[in-house]
Structure 1
Amino acid sequence: MASQPCSSKALSSVINQEFLNRSTNIESARFLKRILQKSEEEGKLSKTIPSDLDRTHFYTGLDRRMFFTQYTDLKATEIKDIERSMIHERLIAFYINANASSLPPRPDTTPTTKNLFSALYGKIPHYVDIRMFRKCLAKLGYVWLRIFKGYIVMERPSVTFERYYYLKDIVRYREENRDIFYVAETVLTGLFNYYSFKEYNELMKTAVNARIEIIQKGLIKNIYAVSKSGVYALKTIDHFTTSNFANWVINELLPVLPEKSVVVIQKYEHHDDVIKKPTLFSIKSDIIAWLELNDVPYSEEMSKCELVDLVDAYTSESDEISKIENSLKLKGHELLRLPACIEEMTTSKHFFELIKLNASKVNVNHDQVLKMITESVSLQTFEKFDRHVADAEKDTLHADIKMDQVFDNVVAAFQKVRLKDAEDSEVPLSDSD
């Protein structure tokens, strides 16, 4: 008779003790998690052993009870990243509290990986161990600063500066009462599951079960902009490409923008329409494209050298041009690129969550879901979303300013803290470590 899982509470303590407390057994826990993932993915392809748990038991020979908790954690946190905002808020608290205290900082109050990991206990997936957490920090834009003994976690300066200048600009535009439009791209599957472009892209790369659902069922790919007054320029497109995105901005969004609007876009690869100034090393078609973008007349019979002479003589000294940005600026609008570290700080994100909640409840044709939901949302709801984002932008900017004021003093104080020799000895050298 097959073994039955024991209670999750009792088993959790066993698994935590056996797998999470020792580095060698952490590898075993990671191994089981991977087997469980692959077993679940294969379940979509093969019905020989239908149960995910039975299939994992068949592959490993381990008792089902050994991986029941791992399975529960995996199902509860499937495809879920650790929220960057949660990490960042806790990290800032380490620095601000250290500055506010009149006492010298203690080892347990310094922002080491270990202390940050402990402070977030219960808020991150159970299967994430400290080594996985350390790698996650590196991928999210954090680095390690060497102090007297050991390392403390800090945000990569380039990430901080990019966010600061974006927030400074958008807060100023709000004070000028400009309309702000946050661009969003979404995918609706035939099973009425809704994904943002980022989620869809990640699922297509990493999850077999997601690919099966996405590829086999009809997809509706939408692009639109959200402001405090509603949804604008909603359009269904075939593919998320640079040309499709640029055409949508110029031909669909630009004509409906109020005077002196601000358009916020994410920093996705297909949003990058920047054309670099050509040189003699460029191919002829790129040189011609640059001349046409700058409205410089030329002849098809001209040699490459003659075309480059026209580039140098009649185009701007700028090394690159964005067709989207130029088109918006010519009409008096501004373009902002949203830093990845605050990519969810948008009105479109709130609207997206509303879509996910209601997509399967709307009794209309598949391709009419988004339109139906959009028409049902009140103006007051969009205004509420916008106020929430505006408050978050101000709060984050003030936190950045506060951190800038206290950072040097706090780091100087941390330099006097005597950490253990091995504290954060496994600092990643790169995001892939």
Structure 2
Amino acid sequence: MDSNLKNYPETCGLLKNVLKVLQNEEDVTTGVSFASKLTNIHPKSLNLFILSDITKISDVDRSVVYKAHSDYCINFNKFPTTKELYEDLQGKLPCYMDMGRFRTLLIQMDFCWKKIREDLLVVIERPRATYERFRYFTNVMMFDPKMIYFICEYYVNSSRQFKIYSGKEEDAVIRLICAYSSFNGVQHMEIIDNFNEQNFENFVAGTLLPSLMSSTVIVIPDISQHNGKYIETPTLDSLRIEIMEWLDNNDIPYHVELSKYELMCLVKQYTDTKENVYKIDNLLEAHGHTVLRLPKHIEMLTPAALLAEFLSTNMEREEVDLKKSIKDVLSIVDKQHLNQFNTYIFNEYEMMILKDKELDRNWDLYMANSLSKEAYVDTVLPVFNME
């Protein structure tokens, strides 16, 4: 997603000041060095300001950060600090991104920091994210691709680009939901007015389910619109009357004089509040199908995502009737294309599994040897020289 940088006046003002410093310095190298101290933005990135007219804030592809991080760990036999990873990614990050914004980006991408010593914090992928990806890869690779369906939601923007919907959209001209078979390609595709829970459930129950053969594997992206529950498990933010209603629906006895916190103790005592039981999962499993949840951050590692790229490349830009253009492109997707999609995706799965295993082994060795390593101090804020 791109957004106008003018919507971020503080950032825009900072960049203007940086440009002013660079333009007023007779020695550009000195100007870049000074601006880097002021902004904590890498000098390589600041050099791009001289040549670029920056007006947009751009997304960073998580796969780029994941690859840089894993390659660094394997090539250098150690895990990077924030500064080391930031420097390694120069040229691949937006040139306005300073160290603070980079840390925020890492958090959003499910990376975290491990304290090795008092003076050493290293960047690692959040263990739960690694585990969920590994579990999904190993589960989906157990099944015959002929039996796997991917539910996917797309939108087409004004530039006629097909985009995977993963919880946010921008400049959508048309929205679609489809069921993609690894063996037969797109089996169902419907135009919808909005990405919401109701449209998703209607598509699965009314269109997809009646057409499925027995024992099909359904891959569903794990986003909020797909996670409808029959009744939400209460939390500490719930009203007392909502907790009581939940206890009534689950036939759990309680006294009406109990406080909200005493009622929540009953909720935790009689249920596993961490267990997610979704309506769609129950529906599909009740008909003998298997549901796999596609973890965050690997939405682009499905055949359906490769189809979106294929459609974007082959869409007729001048065709007025967008629906006709989509139908025309889908008609040229043959078995050879499907096999190419599947081969690429499953090769990527195997590669990432092997890489994660190697990182796991490296982590054990790194932790065993870390006390003898040279210290790398990673400060949260830039250190200013006051001399």
TM-score normalised by L of structure 1: 0.66
1:416 and 2:385 correspond: no
Kept in 1: contact 2:161–2:312 (CA 8 A): yes
Structure 2 unaligned regions, length at least 5: 1-21, 235-239, 257-265, 382-387
2:164 to 182, 191, 196: 196
Structure 1 unaligned regions, length at least 5: 1-9, 34-64, 100-108, 204-209, 297-304, 306-311, 428-433
1:127 and 2:96 correspond: yes
The verdict on how the C-alpha distance between 1:27 and 1:91 changes in structure 2, with shifts beyond 3 A counting, is closer
Counterpart of 1:60 in structure 2 is none
1:150-190 C-alpha deviation (Å, 9 max, x unpaired): 2111111121121121112112224xx55222222122245
1:351 and 2:307 correspond: yes
Identify, as 1 or 2, the structure richer in helix. 1
**Per-residue deviation, 1:113:** 1.6
1:288-326 C-alpha deviation (Å, 9 max, x unpaired): 9x69xxxx9xxxxxxxx9xxxxxx9xxx97766322111
SS at match of 1:345: coil
1:118 and 2:87 correspond: yes
Kept in 1: contact 2:180–2:188 (CA 8 A): no
Counterpart of 1:263 in structure 2 is 218
Counterpart of 1:140 in structure 2 is 109
Counterpart of 2:31 in structure 1 is 18
TM-score normalised by L of structure 2: 0.73
Letter in 2 for 1:424: D
Cα distance in 1 between the residues matched to 2:230 and 2:287: 20
1:321 and 2:277 correspond: yes
**Per-residue deviation, 1:95:** 2.9
Q: Could you tell me the percent identity over the aligned residues?
A: 25
Kept in 1: contact 2:79–2:124 (CA 8 A): no
Letter in 2 for 1:388: Y
Matches within 5 A, 1:190-339: 192-198=160-166, 201-203=168-170, 210=171, 214=172, 219-228=173-182, 229-276=184-231, 281-282=241-242, 321-339=277-295
The verdict on how the C-alpha distance between 1:178 and 1:354 changes in structure 2, with shifts beyond 3 A counting, is closer
1:11-45 C-alpha deviation (Å, 9 max, x unpaired): 8x98786357645532799xxx9xxxxxxxxxxxx
Counterpart of 1:161 in structure 2 is 131
2:51 to 65, 69, 89: 69
Counterpart of 1:61 in structure 2 is none
Cα distance in 2 between the residues matched to 1:243 and 1:285: 23
**Per-residue deviation, 1:222:** 0.5
Letter in 1 for 2:61: E
Cα distance in 1 between the residues matched to 2:310 and 2:201: 27
Kept in 2: contact 1:278–1:287 (CA 8 A): no
Cα distance in 2 between the residues matched to 1:198 and 1:17: 44
Kept in 2: contact 1:259–1:332 (CA 8 A): yes
Range that drifts further, 245-254 or 19-28: 19-28
Kept in 1: contact 2:116–2:122 (CA 8 A): yes
The verdict on how the C-alpha distance between 1:379 and 1:267 changes in structure 2, with shifts beyond 3 A counting, is same
1:399-420 C-alpha deviation (Å, 9 max, x unpaired): 2222223312212323322224
Kept in 2: contact 1:265–1:337 (CA 8 A): yes
Letter in 1 for 2:138: K
SS at match of 1:340: coil
**Per-residue deviation, 1:197:** 2.0
Letter in 2 for 1:86: V
Kept in 2: contact 1:233–1:256 (CA 8 A): no
**Per-residue deviation, 1:66:** 11
The verdict on how the C-alpha distance between 1:127 and 1:352 changes in structure 2, with shifts beyond 3 A counting, is same
Cα distance in 2 between the residues matched to 1:380 and 1:66: 42
Letter in 2 for 1:282: E
Kept in 1: contact 2:40–2:99 (CA 8 A): no
Structural RMSD (CA): 3.8
**Per-residue deviation, 1:352:** 0.7
Kept in 2: contact 1:264–1:335 (CA 8 A): yes
Letter in 1 for 2:85: L
Letter in 1 for 2:74: I
1:179 and 2:122 correspond: no
How many residues are paired up?
A: 332
1:81 to 43, 50, 59: 59
Kept in 1: contact 2:41–2:98 (CA 8 A): no
Cα distance in 1 between the residues matched to 2:233 and 2:126: 32
Cα distance in 2 between the residues matched to 1:238 and 1:131: 38
Letter in 2 for 1:188: V
Q: Structure 1: which 4+ aligned runs deviate by more than 4 Å?
A: 13-17, 19-24, 65-68, 277-280, 283-288, 316-320
The verdict on how the C-alpha distance between 1:16 and 1:87 changes in structure 2, with shifts beyond 3 A counting, is farther
Letter in 2 for 1:256: S
**Per-residue deviation, 1:231:** 0.5
Kept in 2: contact 1:227–1:386 (CA 8 A): no
SS at match of 2:230: strand
1:43-75 C-alpha deviation (Å, 9 max, x unpaired): xxxxxxxxxxxxxxxxxxxxxx9966341xx46
**Per-residue deviation, 1:286:** 7.2
Cα distance in 2 between the residues matched to 1:405 and 1:193: 41
The verdict on how the C-alpha distance between 1:194 and 1:343 changes in structure 2, with shifts beyond 3 A counting, is closer
The verdict on how the C-alpha distance between 1:362 and 1:336 changes in structure 2, with shifts beyond 3 A counting, is farther
1:366 and 2:322 correspond: yes
